[in-house]
């Protein structure tokens, strides 16, 4: 005779509920979608200048587009699954490589970093923290690290790639 599973404890129900996307995460996902569209539009409009763009910049753009595209399913789909973990590893690698590459990109001249590079440094710390906390099942810390990294490294840094005569801004708005 089969026995019914015992009812989930209140703590288990609370944890299960807490990993659902909330309004802030839906806003982050929407911001990532808008940023993906803006970067894609800038790349299309900047086609005449592609040959003048350095390979390091192309690598940076490719990895950031991967991270932006993966942000939506990671924030909005079911979490804790094998699919979420696979996407998370890919997203983490893309973000880490994006940040590392950014230290070699200087529009003001060699060795002159912009304030955006501070967010790259935060990413180099935030992404491993997010991975470590996920591997240890520290859901609250993982969620905080992911929100912080998506907000700072993807959206704020991404926003500041468009004004002040920067390449993507020139391509998109010029």
- Per-residue CA distances from 3 to 6, 7, 8, 9 (Å): 9, 12, 15, 17
Quote the DSSP letter at residue 33: H
Return the pLDDT at 164: 75
Nearest residue to 104 via CA among 43, 59, 68, 149: 59
- Residue whose entry in the numeric block shows the structure tokens 């997203």: 91
Per-residue pLDDT of the chain in tens (174 residues, 90 and over written 9): 555 555 555 544 444 445 789 999 999 999 999 999 999 999 999 999 999 999 999 999 999 999 999 999 999 999 989 999 999 999 999 999 999 999 998 765 555 777 788 889 989 999 999 999 999 999 999 999 999 999 998 999 889 888 878 899 999 988
Return the pLDDT at 130: 95
């Amino acid at each position: 005779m089969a026995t019914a599973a015992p009812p989930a404890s209140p703590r288990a129900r609370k944890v299960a509920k807490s990993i659902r996307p909330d309004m802030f995460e839906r806003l982050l996902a929407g911001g990532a979608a808008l940023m993906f569209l803006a970067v894609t539009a800038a790349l299309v409009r900047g086609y005449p200048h592609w040959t003048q763009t350095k390979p390091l910049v192309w690598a940076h753009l490719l990895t950031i587009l991967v991270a932006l595209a993966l942000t939506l399913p990671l924030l909005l789909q079911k979490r804790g699954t094998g699919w979420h973990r696979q996407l998370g590893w890919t997203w983490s690698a893309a973000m880490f490589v994006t940040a590392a590459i950014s230290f070699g990109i200087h529009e003001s001249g060699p060795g002159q970093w912009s304030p955006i590079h501070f967010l790259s440094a935060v990413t180099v710390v935030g992404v491993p923290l997010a991975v470590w906390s996920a591997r240890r099942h520290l859901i609250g810390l993982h969620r905080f690290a992911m929100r912080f990294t998506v907000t700072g490294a993807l959206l704020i840094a991404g926003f500041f790639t468009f004004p002040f005569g920067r390449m993507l801004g020139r391509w998109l708005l010029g």
